[in-house]
Amino acid sequence: MFTSLSVVCILTLLQLSTTCISSHTQLQGTLHRRNYFYIGEQYVNTPGTNNGSEIAFGQIYVEHLVPATVTQSLPVLMIHGHGMTGTNFLNTPDGRLGWADYFMNQGFEIYIVDQPSRGRSAWQMGVDGDQSDFDATYISSHFTAVEKFNLWPQAALHTQWPGNGTAGDPIFDNFYASTMPSLVSDKESSIKVKKAIGKLLDDIGPVILLTHSQSGQYGWILGDFRPSLIKTIIALEPIGPPFINAVFPPLTPARPFGLTEIPVTYSPPVSSSCDLKPEIVPALTNASLGTTCFRQAAPARQLVNLKEIPTLVVTSESSYHAIYDSCTVEYLAQAGVPVTHVELADVGIKGNAHMMFMEKNGLEIAEKVVLEWIQNTVNK
Ligand SMILES: *[C@@H]1O[C@H](CO)[C@@H](O)[C@H](O)[C@H]1NC(C)=O
Ligand SMILES: *[C@@H]1O[C@H](CO)[C@@H](O)[C@H](O)[C@H]1NC(C)=O
Ligand SMILES: *[C@@H]1O[C@H](CO)[C@@H](O)[C@H](O)[C@H]1NC(C)=O
């Protein structure tokens, strides 16, 4: 009896592991060619460098994925957020297809970067600024297991992360292990992104630009810098709201140029950020939620270089961004940017948090929101 039970258990285990293994090996993908290159490097002599020689800094790693069948005229350039790298868009931490594959399958060429000083883009000691990490609890409480921490009211609605979203769960562990030290200063990051990705755009543009979180502000900076090379900006939960941090104390001033740390072109021009004259939007401000929403005092200066770039902001149901993304959208609209806000719950897509594109229904978001937007705007 005992023996046959053990045999049953072992057989079941074997079947289980066979299922697990085959579900990975049967992963379907899109036939494509991969190339990578670096761009944006600058040589500099440092105290540790041999005389007459130099090291390079500021360059970014760019992965270029070309599907066997390209049917779309514009490539998609994907920029990840803080603590992340380009792996965000390859496959998901539980081994499902990611957005890169989805869009290649739709006939798009893809470019994926690692931000300057991050991942495969070198961080150079003595040249690049200080770095910091997201710890595992931060990732669980803000991104993957927000319903267990309830740091904001909508967090309770979160259902879409695969696995329990905390350390010890193999899917979480795989995701957490992919996170990387990031430059502490968003100003430094912005300057370096503008230089390196600006150069990339000059080589590969025009593009469809997809940003997430921290890279949301790079979307506005790059759109301002190279307006003719960005045909649309799709901003997944862009960093915000204007002028101040929100939800998580300390609610310190940030983004002195409204949505960016570094100057962008306003008309009339701003000589300092004070010219923007922030005023509170009472309807979108809620002290108990830890958010103060600012816009410009009328008449609002216009973000003139973004006026011709159709922009989509996507917000999930249960992310902390659900509290303040409408304030960011209001700011863009007031400054003359043609912006559309899709809140996923309004189109029947429920239970997502900040890492929506790698959650269980990530491909549904790609198809019903992002692809739909591209077809209705740039492909129309
Ligand atoms: C570089 O040259 C200077 C002046 O000749 C010398 O003092 C210094 O030791 C050299 N540094 C290295 C790393 O070779
Ligand atoms: C998450 O799953 C892991 C692995 O099964 C387990 O060790 C851990 O206790 C779980 N954590 C929570 C909060 O459920
Ligand atoms: C602020 O948010 C809290 C929590 O969601 C809510 O109970 C309250 O009604 C809100 N206050 C205002 C003025 O909207």
The 3-class SS string of 335-369 reads CCCCEEEEEHHHHCCCCCCCCHHHCCCHHHHHHHH
Instruction: Please identify, by atom number, the ligand 3 atom nearest to the C-alpha of residue 153.
Output: 5
C-beta of 50 in contact with ligand 1 (< 6 A): yes
SS3 of residue 33 by DSSP? strand
CA 261/CA 241 separation, integer angstroms: 12
Query: Which residues are within 8 A (CB) of 341 and not within 5 positions of it... i.e. 6 or more apart?
Result: 312, 313, 315, 325, 326, 329
Instruction: Please identify, by atom number, the ligand 2 atom nearest to the C-alpha of residue 170.
Output: 4
C-beta of 288 in contact with ligand 3 (< 6 A): yes
Task: Tell how far the Cα of 289 is from the centroid of ligand 3, in angstroms.
Answer: 7
pLDDT tens digits in sequence order for the chain, 380 residues long = 334 444 343 444 444 444 444 444 445 899 999 999 999 999 998 877 777 789 999 999 999 999 999 999 999 999 999 999 999 999 999 999 999 999 999 999 999 999 999 999 999 999 999 999 999 999 999 999 999 999 999 999 999 999 999 999 999 999 999 999 999 999 999 999 999 999 999 999 999 999 999 999 999 999 999 999 999 999 999 999 999 999 999 999 999 999 999 999 999 999 888 999 999 999 999 999 999 999 999 999 999 999 999 999 999 999 999 999 999 999 999 999 999 999 999 999 999 999 999 999 999 999 999 999 999 999 76
C-beta of 247 in contact with ligand 3 (< 6 A): no
Closest CA to 247 of 302, 293, 311: 293
CA 221/CA 236 separation, integer angstroms: 16
Q: Which bound ligand lies closest to the C-alpha atom of 48?
A: 1
**Nearest CA, atom 13, ligand 2:** 166
Q: Do residues 329 and 350 touch, judged by C-beta distance below 8 A?
A: no
CA 111/CA 60 separation, integer angstroms: 12
Instruction: Please identify, by atom number, the ligand 1 atom nearest to the C-alpha of residue 48.
Output: 13
Tokens of 173: 């562990």
Which among 140, 164, 171, 176 is the best mutation to test ligand 2's pocket, defined by most ligand atoms within 8 Å of the CB? Answer: 164
CATH code at 35-377: 3.40.50.1820
SS3 of residue 183 by DSSP? strand
Strands 311-315 and 60-67: unpaired
Virtual torsion, Cα 146, 151, 157, 158, nearest 10 deg: -10
Name residue, tokens 């503008």. Answer: 194
Residue 28: count of CB within 10 angstroms of its CB = 7
C-beta of 26 in contact with ligand 1 (< 6 A): no
Peptide bond into 227 cis (omega under 30): no
C-beta of 51 in contact with ligand 1 (< 6 A): yes
Q: Which is catalytic among the residues 213, 318, 319, 326?
A: 213
CA 237/CA 260 separation, integer angstroms: 15
Name residue, tokens 């863009």. Answer: 332
**What are the angstrom distances between the C-alpha of 311 and each of 156, 314, 340, 342?**
29, 10, 6, 11
CA 7/CA 19 separation, integer angstroms: 18
What amino acid occupies position 81?
G
CA 361 to chain centre: 17
CA 232/CA 379 separation, integer angstroms: 11
Q: Which bound ligand lies closest to the C-alpha atom of 166?
A: 2
CA 242/CA 254 separation, integer angstroms: 8
pLDDT tens-place string over residues 98-149: 999 999 999 999 999 999 999 999 999 999 999 999 999 999 999 999 999 9
C-beta of 169 in contact with ligand 2 (< 6 A): yes
Q: Which strand (E) or helix (H) includes residue 278?
A: strand 278-280
Backbone angles phi, psi at 211, to 5 degrees: -120, 160
SS3 of residue 93 by DSSP? coil
Backbone angles phi, psi at 155, to 5 degrees: -55, -30
Q: Which bound ligand lies closest to the C-alpha atom of 164?
A: 2
**Nearest CA, atom 14, ligand 3:** 286
CA 316/CA 187 separation, integer angstroms: 27
213 in active site: yes
